[in-house]
Chain A
Amino acid sequence: MMPGKQAEPRPTAKYRSQFRIYVDIMSVIQRESNEAKPTRILYGANLSHDRLVKYLDELKALGVIQETGTDDKIYSLTQKGIEFMNNFRRVESFAQAFGFKI
């Protein structure tokens, strides 16, 4: 801590896991009729530009999203991504039924 400075209060926002961020990005793409521009994803998933680029690269490497377009990049879910989201929705509603959040 810097001398003379008071300790900053801890952020109250809940920590979002990497898994949750992946799901949030993919949910935004799905919500946008499976064709989402980076700006939409950025606002929808509440991410900074740098983190968005990082996560989009990771999701592409996992094969759950694909990038199309050259000037205006468009992201969409692959078949693997759609299946993942279907499974996630099942697990989410199962967990919610018990009152657990994932």
Chain B
Amino acid sequence: MEFIAFVIAIAIANQALRGYKLSKEKTLLYLNLSFVLIGAGLLVDGLSSLIVFLTGVRRGFLYPFAIGYTINFLAQVIAYGLLVYAYIHQARSVSESPTLALAAAVPFLFFERNAFTELILLFLLVYIATQTGINYSINKGTNSMLVFGAFLALAISHVFFLIFTVAPVFYPFAHIAQLCGFLLLLAMLLRVNRPT
């Protein structure tokens, strides 16, 4: 699932980069950097999980999994922090993002999924989902609805990841919600690039 999400994230990043090259609009550059980081985090997490799976889940082999998760977490915090910054930058209300400072304050290694890390990601995603929801309520476009749905699904996935820390049964639901989020983004990308 992480590999599918990685490909979609890179496709979104590529579209944002093309937009930035054409318009030189900084928010598109932030969007590009954000999805590059999300993609990189997903790839590292997916590869580390694959290593753990291929080598067998034994205590000594859990280290790559922990490193993968930590990199994925940091990439996501910075990526979603950048998106939050892009929305704040667009609104031109403040010049600095508190979330980026939050990202810098995060300790380097977490070793495993825990409630604290998931709460940080959930907080960022709820903010982004709210912004995209407001955007959808204003322009009522299908693409806006897909993006809103995507970030809502990603926020829900982190709610499941949060519950997973106490109830492991929710782990597959979290991954399914995450995949749904990226598939919605793919649907938006395909709609945008339809031949005119």
Contacts and interface: CB of A to CB of B under 8 A. Distances in A.
B149 to A, nearest CB: 11
A62 interface: no
Given A91-B19, A102-B19, A102-B25, A97 B196 contact: no
Interface string B89-106: 010000000000000000
Interface string A53-78: 00000000000000000000000000
Given A96-B143, A97-B147, A100-B90, A91 B18 contact: yes
Interface residues of A, number: 18
A43 interface: no
Nearest to B22: A91
Given A93-B192, A95-B19, A102 B28 contact: yes
Interface size classification for chain B: 20 to 34
Interface string B70-90: 000000000000000011001
Contacts of B131: 99
Interface stretch (B52-60, B132-140, B175-183): B132-140
Nearest to B86: A100
A80 interface: no
Nearest to A99: B135
A96 B90 CA distance: 12
Interface in B16-51: 16, 18-19, 22-25, 27-28, 31
Contacts of B121: none
B117 interface: no
A87 B196 CA distance: 10
A94 B22 CA distance: 13
Given A90-B192, A91-B18, A91-B23, A97 B144 contact: yes
A100 B87 CA distance: 8
A18 to B, nearest CB: 10
Given A90-B192, A97-B192, A100-B28, 14 more contacts: A91-B18, A91-B19, A93-B192, A94-B188, A95-B25, A95-B27, A96-B141, A96-B143, A96-B144, A97-B141, A99-B90, A99-B131, A102-B19, A102-B25
28 contacts: A17-B24, A87-B18, A89-B196, A90-B192, A90-B193, A91-B19, A91-B23, A93-B141, A93-B143, A93-B192, A94-B15, A94-B16, A94-B189, A94-B192, A95-B27, A96-B135, A96-B139, A96-B141, A97-B141, A97-B144, A97-B146, A98-B135, A98-B147, A99-B134, A99-B147, A100-B27, A100-B28, A102-B28
